[in-house]
Chain A
């Protein structure tokens, strides 16, 4: 609050219908989850949908931390450009420069986990959200996009 300068370049929090969280430690996962929920509520998603979005954000952020050692999670409002910027949905975007996923089909399989998780993170996110896309190049990184329509 005093050192405004410090957080300007990585402005976190709600800015222009968009939330950016640099995930580096466990606390960031909580903060990503909280902020995604806040954004969903501001966009007038139902309680259940906001809960789904928050949980999906938390899963994606936790994945960034566990599998890639950190990354960037963004949540942004999807606006309709023709209709006075009416809100259409919310997009979650998780990007990392981690080791990448060698076998995408396997990673999306129920109950499969490389870490010590329950193995339902990614397939869970897919079910919680309406659209789900994943790109990954081994050695380069992973990018996951998930959308919930209003």
Chain B
């Protein structure tokens, strides 16, 4: 038996597609040239349209289930991925589908106001599933992007610099949480081993607040660095920071500390038996 919906979809397919494309916004009418993909957005939409209609033409049942490997699911995810990368909100993809739903249900009701309730229910079910799928896909992609970005930020923010022969400089900028502390320790230890560093300057000028957890992270990093045979010079603790640390009762026992990076560098050079002099003094 053919349902009203199946009949409608078969007879008015082309019109529906045209109406739908017309109802969508400008970005789809002007495919972005820098896209680089072979599919133009419009082709994607055509494919999605065909897929959705195929799903709708299934015999109605109590539950509409969509396999994750179904072409419809795949196309939808691709479309969502494209949009998420362009920085579009989740409402854009979902609005796209809901506008198709609106078009179909409008025609359905116009054609037969009395007998369309069963078909409308089915329509509702299919689009509900599609919306859920699109939203989940959108969140997945966003989360993936965010993880990628925070990873690259993490790497950006912990450079270990070779200041001089056997002297390393680790300027710390920003808050230090568990993840960053681990990253800092790892990259520092690796650099100490590679350069056979004798002295490491740990500059804390850019650390906004020194509390017990930051202090604890730093102590662990310093201990590990010492095991590799380097001495640590801490620099750049602000007067407020120093006062707070003592109030907290935190003691960096036998760590050399200097107020400024300049003093720290002088100290570090002294430790490896060098010093900075003006050119005149150095002449024989």
Contacts and interface: CB of A to CB of B under 8 A. Distances in A.
Interface of A: 2, 26-27, 29-30, 33-34, 37, 47-48, 50-52, 54-55, 58-59, 62, 110, 117-118, 120-121, 123-124, 127-128
B244 A51 contact: yes
In order of increasing CB-CB distance, the 8 nearest A-B pairs are: A124-B248, A51-B240, A120-B249, A58-B211, A48-B240, A30-B175, A127-B247, A55-B211
Contacts of A128: 244, 247-248
B212 A33 contact: no
Point out which of A52, A121, A123, A124 has the most chain B C-beta atoms below 10 A from its C-beta: A124
Interface in B179-218: 208-213, 215-216
Contacts of B210: 55
B213 A34 contact: no
Contacts of B109: none
B177 A30 contact: yes
Contacts of A110: 249
Contact of A121 (B89, B212, B238, B239): B212
B248 A26 contact: no
A44 B150 CA distance: 34
A26 B178 CA distance: 8
A55 B248 contact: yes
Given A48-B239, A48-B240, A54 B209 contact: yes
Contacts of B240: 47-48, 50-52
B212 A124 contact: yes
A86 to B, nearest CB: 25
B263 to A, nearest CB: 21
Interface of B: 89, 175, 177-178, 208-213, 215-216, 238-241, 243-244, 247-250
Given A26-B177, A26-B178, A27-B177, A33 B211 contact: yes
Given A27-B177, A30-B177, A123-B249, A52 B212 contact: no
A123 B177 CA distance: 22
Nearest to B241: A51
Contact of B248 (A30, A37, A47, A127): A127
A1 to B, nearest CB: 11
Contacts of A54: 208-209
Contacts of A117: 212-213, 216
B212 A118 contact: yes
A148 B45 CA distance: 61
Contacts of B243: 48, 51-52
Contacts of B238: 51
Given A33-B211, A48-B240, A124-B212, A118 B247 contact: no
A62 B211 contact: yes
9 contacts: A48-B240, A48-B244, A51-B240, A51-B244, A52-B247, A59-B212, A62-B213, A121-B212, A124-B250
A137 to B, nearest CB: 25
Nearest to A3: B89
A118 B253 CA distance: 14
Nearest to B249: A120
A85 B247 CA distance: 31
B178 to A, nearest CB: 6
A27 B244 CA distance: 22
Contacts of A58: 209, 211, 213
Contacts of B213: 29, 58, 62, 117
